Amino acid sequence: MTRSWQEWLVRQISLAGDFDERILNAFLKVPREVFSEFHYDLDVVYSDNVIVTARDGNSYSTSSQPSLMALFMSVVGLREGMKVLEIGSGTGYNACVMAHVVGEDGLVVGIESNQRFFKRSVEVASKLGIENVIFVNGDGFYGYEKLSPYDAIVITVAVDKVSRHWVDQLKIGGRVVGPIDVYTIDRQPAFVFEKTSDSIVAKHLVETKFIKAGGLLGNLNETNLERLSKIEKRFSTPVEFLSIPVGSYEAVGVFHLASWSLCEKSGWIYFVEDEGFARWKGGWEVFGKMELIKRIAEEWAKTGFTPMMLLRFGYDHRMNFERLERWDET
């Protein structure tokens, strides 16, 4: 009976995109229900929807929407023989599906910060006899250097930023895919980051909604608030106003992805640098000396303030901003 429901799931995934047969077949080989501590009817388990798989106090593990996971696998070029790192592996369903895609000559490494969810993933993978997946209990911010380099990194939890450790552990030509939590406006666009010999290039993939990461992958607002507290009292009068002729939703998303420097305080959105800060008021009200924000604004203006989904973000290997371009014109 389970096989019939898995076939139904694959048909649903197929309707969402033109996915490689190896990816689709992998969903036929892994029973989704065994990764959940909760009972669901099979029509729920094998729907193309998110399901909650475990709870530990106020922490939850979910099995992400299968068609979205197929999309993530597809955009990183997942294929036989690859070594893949998953950030936020939960109880392990997606990692085990990917293990079937990469095959016996490949390897999937899943990192999960919650020890209870991690233990369940190990137990279920063992019961299913999946030997080319390894689960690690730890903070995904650090990746897993021991088994690097990786051909691809798949993030299945909303993160505030891309960790430099992931970039270091990724092969040249490899890709990172996952949702970025633009926490100041409650937006989680998924991006694809590709590593070249001298840069990181990122493009918007799709809008998503994931559980937010904890630990070092989910504390950027607090980190930037601490930076703001050290300089805010030094400046009482704005020195200029940077006009940004787009709405807050679009503008804040672009500046977050370009800088990793935003925070929210008392209903205001701030951009923080070492020698100054800016406050969003339909544009940026600038206090002190601000260089990065101006460079981002200038780069964006060159594109005609193109919407984020059509922009290509460029960074160095430390994830510092370098440029903005329209991806459909380069």
Cα angle, residue 189 at apex, residues 166 and 213 outer, rounded to 5°: 55
Among 291, 280, 287, CA closest to 234: 287
Q: What is the mean pLDDT of residues 120-133?
A: 98
Q: What is the pLDDT of residue 328?
A: 79
Question: Cα(74)–Cα(54) distance, rounded to whole angstroms?
Answer: 27
How big is the CA angle at 229 (ends 227 and 234), to the nearest 5 degrees? 105
Distance CA 196, CA 258 (A): 18
Mean pLDDT of 16-40: 97
Q: Is residue 90 pLDDT above 90, yes or no?
A: yes
Q: For the chain, where are the alpha helices, taking DSSP H only?
A: 2-16, 21-29, 42-45, 66-75, 93-102, 115-128, 164-169, 220-231, 248-259, 292-302
Mean pLDDT along residues 109-117: 98
Which residues is 272 bridged to in the sheet?
Answer: 277
Q: Is residue 28 scored above 90 in pLDDT?
A: yes
Cα gap 286→304, rounded to integer Å:
22
The arithmetic mean of pLDDT across residues 255-272, rounded, is: 98
CA angle 306, 76, 323 (to 5 degrees): 30
Mean pLDDT of 33-55: 97
In the block, tokens 């094998």 appear at 46
Q: Which of 36, 64, 121, 163 is catalytic?
A: 64
With the C-alpha atoms ordered 167, 213, 123, 40, is the resulting torsion angle positive or negative?
Answer: negative
Per-residue pLDDT for 109 more than 80? Answer: yes
Q: At what angle do helices 93-102 and 21-29 cross, to 10 degrees?
A: 130
262 has pLDDT over 70: yes
Over residues 40-45, mean pLDDT: 96
pLDDT surpasses 80 at 20: yes
Instruction: Report the C-alpha gap between 187 and 272 in whole angstroms.
Output: 20
Kindly list the structural domains of the chain, giving each domain's residue range(s) and its CATH number in brackets, ordered by start.
2-214 (3.40.50.150), 219-329 (3.55.20.10)
Percentage above 70 pLDDT, the chain = 99
- Residue 139 has which token pair? 């903070």
Q: What is the length of the chain?
A: 330
Looking at residue 2, its pLDDT comes to 79
Give the mean model confidence (pLDDT) for residues 167-193.
98
According to the model, what pLDDT value does residue 46 have?
97
Q: Evaluate whether 84 touches 101 at the Cβ level (below 8 Å).
A: no
Contact predicate 73/23, CB 8 Å: yes
DSSP string over 2-22: HHHHHHHHHHHHHHH----HH
Query: Is pTM beyond 0.85 here?
Result: yes
- Distance (Å) of CA 262 to CA 10, 113, 161, 278, 279: 40, 25, 11, 9, 10
pLDDT for residue 229 is more than 80: yes
Alpha carbons 283 and 244: distance in angstroms, whole number: 5
- 330 has a pLDDT exceeding 60: no
**All residues at 6 or more sequence positions from 193 whose CB lies less than 8 Å from its CB, including other chains:** 162, 175, 176, 177, 200, 201, 202
Which pLDDT tens digit goes with each residue over 269-317? 999 999 999 999 999 999 999 999 999 999 999 999 999 999 999 999 9
- pLDDT over 80 (residue 329): no
User: How many whole angstroms separate alpha carbon 5 and alpha carbon 46?
Assistant: 6
Whether 64 sits among the annotated catalytic residues: the reply is yes
Q: With H, G, I as helix, E, B as strand and everything else as coil, classify residue 129.
A: coil
Per-residue model confidence (pLDDT) at position 1: 60
Q: N- to C-terminal Cα distance for the chain?
A: 50
Q: What is the mean pLDDT of the chain?
A: 97
**pLDDT reported for residue 39:** 96
